[in-house]
């Protein structure tokens, strides 16, 4: 049986990266580890690591991206919680067997080699959940 290992990050969708960084980085004093464009997701992501899970700020770079649609519908705010799993393929099969609605039936691979997939909020009491296998 596949298992969740840890919370990896909490993602916040933003409409203005510099304004958001003025709070997280400048006011709170969190270190900005990296600001990266993610063309596959049509977004820009700021990584702010902590001792445990990190905060990720996510800004759409295209009006037709999933992040842009989310932002237009719900506005800025918490987007998803990401949990690390030991076996993403096994976890997706496990969730499917329990009738859990998935956004990604198969994992995608990020530029850094991490595998990820999203679970639909309909099955999680309204929270978008990302699964990560590092």
User: What is the third-level CATH fold of 4-133?
Assistant: 2,3-Dihydroxybiphenyl 1,2-Dioxygenase; domain 1 (3.10.180)
Q: How many residues does the chain have?
A: 134
When pLDDT is averaged across residues 83-95 and rounded to a whole number, the result is 97
Domain ranges of the chain: 4-133
Residue 133 has a pLDDT of: 97
User: Cβ contacts of residue 125 below 8 Å, gap of 6+?
Assistant: none
Q: Taking the alpha carbons of 98, 133, 70, 80 in that order, is the dihedral positive or negative?
A: positive
Share of the chain above pLDDT 90, in %: 95
pTM: 0.91
For the chain, where are the E strands, in sequence order? 4-13, 34-38, 43-48, 54-60, 77-85, 108-109, 115-119, 128-133
Residue 112, pLDDT above cutoff 90: no
Tens-digit pLDDT profile for residues 40-59: 899 999 999 999 999 999 99
């Amino acid at each position: 049986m596949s298992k969740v290992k840890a919370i990896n990050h909490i993602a916040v969708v933003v409409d203005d990266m510099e304004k958001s960084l003025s709070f997280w980085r400048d006011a709170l004093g969190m270190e900005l580890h990296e600001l990266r464009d993610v063309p596959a997701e049509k977004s820009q992501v700021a990584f702010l690591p902590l001792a445990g899970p990190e905060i990720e700020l996510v800004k759409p770079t295209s009006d037709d991206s999933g992040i842009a649609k989310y932002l237009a519908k719900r506005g800025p705010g918490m987007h998803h919680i990401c949990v690390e799993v030991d076996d993403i393929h096994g976890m997706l099969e496990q969730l499917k067997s329990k009738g859990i609605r998935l956004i990604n039936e198969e994992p995608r691979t990020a530029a850094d080699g991490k595998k990820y997939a999203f679970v639909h909020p309909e099955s999680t009491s309204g929270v978008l959940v990302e699964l990560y296998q590092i």
